[in-house]
Amino acid sequence: MLQKESKIRVLENFYALDNVFFGKPVQKMKACCEALTEDYMTIKGAFMSLMIEMYDLIDHQPVEIEEKVDSNNLRFQARESAKVARINAQNLVESDAGRADVKESLKEALEENSNLNIEDEVRETIRAKAFGLAVDNLLIGRSLGESQSVDKLNEWDGQIIEDAYKVLRDNIVESALFILEANELTE
């Protein structure tokens, strides 16, 4: 059973994901169709459900919260967490290892389709890598430091959760990119 603080962290992360991708709640995005937003919300809900399973497995023990947490505090903390995650992701993408990873991804994309617009592909690859790293930083980075049994991720249950996490992370990044593209087209 999760502690109150872990449940609050799940809610914070639920709001923070929107801020990582859009800088505001997804409901304030002008997507071309409601189906994109519904798909994103479905993936986000599944992602948070998976995080609950992960927190339970790794015995998530965040610092006890003494003060009352209301919706405004939660949203403020979500915005701050998202800012930190985006900055950390940007630093990682700009590192030598990050650049090498982007180059490798571009090389693979060009091998699959030599008719790609390289400038667009570079922009999209960097954006997707940065979003993925920001999500990892937001959801995994802090929780590992607050957990008592991180080694359980190496066990069978942990491997399944980790594999599911990677799939959901990639899906939510892709869904967010679709919303951003649709929003750019409607502006």
pLDDT above 70: residue 187: no
Q: Are the beta carbons of 93 and 138 closer than 8 angstroms?
A: no
Query: What mean pLDDT do residues 91-101 have?
Result: 89
The per-residue pLDDT for range 3-20, each reduced to its tens digit, is: 888 899 999 999 999 999
Q: What is the extent of the structural domain holding 144?
A: 4-186
Angle at 44 between CA 87 and CA 15, to 5 degrees: 55
pTM: 0.89
Nearby residues of 74 by Cβ (< 8 Å), 6 or more positions away: 8, 11, 12, 15
Q: How many domains would you assign to the chain?
A: 1
Round to whole Å and give the CA distance between 82 and 130. Answer: 12
What are residue 46's DSSP bridge partners?
Answer: none
How many angstroms separate the CA atoms of 75 and 172, rounded?
A: 20
Residue 98 — very low, low, confident or very high, per pLDDT cuts 50/70/90? confident
DSSP 60: B
- Please provide residue 66's backbone torsions phi and psi, each rounded to the nearest 5 degrees: -90, -40
Identity at 153, one-letter amino acid code = L
Banded model confidence at residue 32, pLDDT cuts 50, 70, 90: low
pLDDT, averaged across the chain: 89
